[in-house]
Amino acid sequence: MSEVVDNKEMDEILQKYGYEKSCIIPILQETQAKYRYLPKEAFSYLSENLGISTAKIYSIATFYENFSLEQKGKYVIKICDGTACHVRKSIPILERLKSQLGLTEAKVTTDDLMFTIETVSCLGACGLAPVLTVNDQVYPAMTPDKAQELLMRLKEEE
Ligand code: FES
């Protein structure tokens, strides 16, 4: 077991679901909630304790797009680029945030693991476009300047 994944924390999750292999999806969801992604070390621990192959767990984790195998930042910022947000200029917001954080299309998480930038196709709040979320809190009617100010506030809180 690596330093990334804590046996005790994993046991708590497994106990909650009675070590039931049919609960693999909620178990993976809780694992992701704890670590903000699915560390590969967790797969072998779950495999040993649930009697499911790591290949099977991996295929489940990659099938559902809400699971992430990549480590994410403390603040996950999702910029909506659905139609309503796109026509109200969501891309300049995305570009501003990426340039402020030194991120690119290939590099979406800062080295200090503070920020991850993602785009989503619709956050279900089109009337408030353009919208972004920070760890699921919705910020409506954004502009590049407002997004930059929000970023400054988050940095100051640290
Ligand atoms: S298109 Fe952005 S919230 Fe729907």
Look at domain 75-157 and name its CATH class: alpha beta
Distance 40 CA to ligand 1 centre (A): 32
CB 123 less than 6 A from any atom of ligand 1: yes
Prediction pTM value: 0.79
Q: Could you tell me the residue ranges of all domains in the chain?
A: 7-63, 75-157
The yes-or-no verdict on residue 2 having pLDDT over 60 is: no
CB 144 less than 6 A from any atom of ligand 1: no
CB 93 less than 6 A from any atom of ligand 1: no
Among 88, 90, 120, 122, the mutation site with the greatest number of ligand 1 atoms within 8 A of its Cβ is: 122
Per residue in 85-116, pLDDT (tens digit) is: 999 999 999 999 999 999 999 999 999 999 99
Calculated CA dihedral for residues 130, 134, 138, 140, nearest 10 degrees = -30
What average pLDDT does the segment 28-48 reach? 93
Q: Please report where in the chains the tokens 């026509």 appear, as a residue.
A: 87
122 is in an annotated binding site: yes
Burial string for 50-80 (b: 16+ CB within 10 Å, else e) reads bebeeeebeebbeeeeebbeeebbebbbbbb
23 is in an annotated binding site: no
